[in-house]
Amino acid sequence: VFKALEFADKNSDTYYKEDTVIHNPQIIRDVIKISGCRFRIIARPDEDIDKEQNKDAVPAPPAPPEALRPRPPVVCVMGHVDHGKTTLLDALRDTSVVDTEFGGITQHIGAFEVTLPSGERATFLDTPGHAAFGAMRSRGARCTDVVVLVVAADDGVMAQTLESVRMARAADVPILVAINKIDKPGVNIDKTLRSLAQHGLLCEALGGDVQAIAVSALKRLHLDTLVEALILQAQLMDLKADPGGYVEGVVIEAFVDPRTGKQATILVQRGTLRKGCVIVAGNGWAKVRVLQNSAGLSVESASPATPVLVMGWRELPSAGDTVLEVESEKRANEVMRWRHNQRMKEKQESDLEAINIKESEHQAIYKQKLAQKRSLGRFRTRQEGPRQKMIQEDDHPTLSVIVKGDVDGSVEAILDILETYDDHERVRLELVSYGVGQVTPNDVEVAQAFNAIIYAFNVECPPGVARDARAAGVQLAQHNVIYKLVDAVRDQLSARLPRRR
Ligand code: GDP
């Protein structure tokens, strides 16, 4: 497969546009002969890969019911900014350290366990908010069982409170409400409960089925009650896993420690992880050398729903990767080789696709421009098709957006929220494109063609690109807080609502 780098000679019969993909080498030879134009090889089907049989590691079939044992819930804390998510997580994490006999030093490994005096446990994901929830979901690794929705009693239900509810509902994860800051004088818990009810979250005190616990994260009041409620919720959900067999899990965090080297926190979801186990995860693999819990203590093993810091990585995986145990180092190497080959193959395919998409993008831009010109009456045609389409679109106002963000997790979180606005009856929200990274000239070009607004979250827009956007009349909105970005989108949607007569 070849990509034309230059236009062919205009005098020849054959004319290739720049970036045209050509699959037939004979044509290329002819074109070179006639015009002397240049080509670059961009991909070659690798027959070796095709012939190789699948050597990947795969999850074991579901465990038989008799092998399943109850497991603790895995909890993600969400809520509006400043309502006390971080304080609550800190308080819970400290409780867990005080409880350990040898009192290790708390370390942030992405998740921690809280054990009640009764011995029952709950596991908390350590990063509060949308990004953690979104990042985990974007890779299809659904590992949150319950969302704790923190609502400050003195502030009540706010924009991000509702966003969190939407995200949890979209992921079908039950919510438990923690009404926080009840130590503040004059706070009204009932008012907060009623306000939640108005937004469709009916707590038990008002006859619904959502548990709500009044706490003070700062004064550490009723935290045990909160954890008990979570464990009750886990029992209602009948959360179970097989502690035997090969280990399966998900990577919560991966990083290089300057002193101890490559480390990754794993949430075990099936089986029991022990020293000496060989595991693969994404592009990484390890022979487990050291296991540490969130209190910094060395442990021998980790059972389902337990987060554990793993050392012994030859190659580091990425957050969200699925962890699978394999029988030997030899097998791990085989899996790594297979995955490497698959990646190369996918890259070749996506390179080709990118070029083809670029083609179709150009076509779309061209069509759009033509349609715009037609609608201005300058290019009236006899064909009624495209014009009718324009009229329909006029009837149904649309906000077109392009979303750029710093990491997969934030982009995914924004799209999750925007999705909930998409079913609006009177104004449509159209996602033209999205991606990770700074705003590019291509984004501006596409935005101009589709009359779209570019929303950038936590990413820069190079001055040159910003200038081009201004010159092209493209709106560019930069935000560092997700809910502000979403608010801005909502304002634009409202502005497009048809006026009532
Ligand atoms: P986050 O943005 O949701 O993570 O909120 P933080 O945990 O950073 O808390 C925001 C502010 O609220 C901080 O000044 C906390 O000290 C304060 N705060 C958190 N929990 C409580 C509480 O239970 N009572 C009181 N009075 N203040 C709290």
User: For the stretch 386-421, what's the b/e string if a residue is b when 16 or more beta carbons lie within 10 angstroms of its beta carbon?
Assistant: eeeeeeeeeeeebbbbbbbbbbbbbbbbbbbbbebb
Amino acid at 285: W
Name which residue leads in pLDDT, 375 or 336. 336
- Number of alpha carbons in the 13 Å side-chain half-sphere of residue 477: 19
Report the nearest-CA residue for atom 10 of ligand 1. Answer: 82
Instruction: Give residue 350 CA to ligand 1 midpoint distance, Å.
Output: 46
Residue 272 CA to residue 79 CA, distance in Å, equals: 33
Ligand 1 pocket, mutate which of 149, 218, 482 (most atoms under 8 A from CB): 218
Averaged pLDDT of the chain:
79
DSSP-based helix, strand, coil % in the chain, nearest 5: 35, 25, 40
Instruction: Please work out whether the CB of residue 221 comes within 6 Å of at least one atom of ligand 1.
Output: no
Residue 138 has pLDDT above 60, yes or no: no
Beta strands in 337-458 (DSSP E): 398-405, 428-436, 453-457
| pLDDT tens digits, one per residue of 141-197 | 467 899 999 999 999 999 889 888 888 887 788 999 999 999 999 899 999 999 999
Residue 136 has pLDDT above 60, yes or no: no
Q: Quick check: CB of 81 below 6 Å from ligand 1?
A: yes
pLDDT band at 296 (very low <50, low <70, confident <90, very high): confident
Does ligand 1 come within 6 angstroms of the Cβ of 129?
no
The answer, yes or no, to whether any atom of ligand 1 lies below 6 A from the CB of 183, is yes
- Residue 376 — pLDDT band, cuts 50, 70, 90? very low
**Mean pLDDT, residues 58-79:** 91
Average pLDDT over residues 416-428: 70
| Burial class for 382, CB neighbours closer than 10 Å (0-12, 13-18, 19+) | exposed
Report how far ligand 1's centroid is from the alpha carbon of 123 (Å): 21
Ligand 1 neighbour 85 (Cβ under 6 A): yes
- Say how many residues make up the chain: 501
Integer CA distances (angstroms), 77 to 165, 281, 468, in order: 12, 26, 41
pLDDT at 373: 42
* Pocket flag, ligand 1, residue 82 (CB < 6 Å): yes
By C-alpha distance, which of 24, 213, 37 is closest to 122?
213
CB 424 within 8 A of CB 393: no
Segment 230-240 mean pLDDT: 92
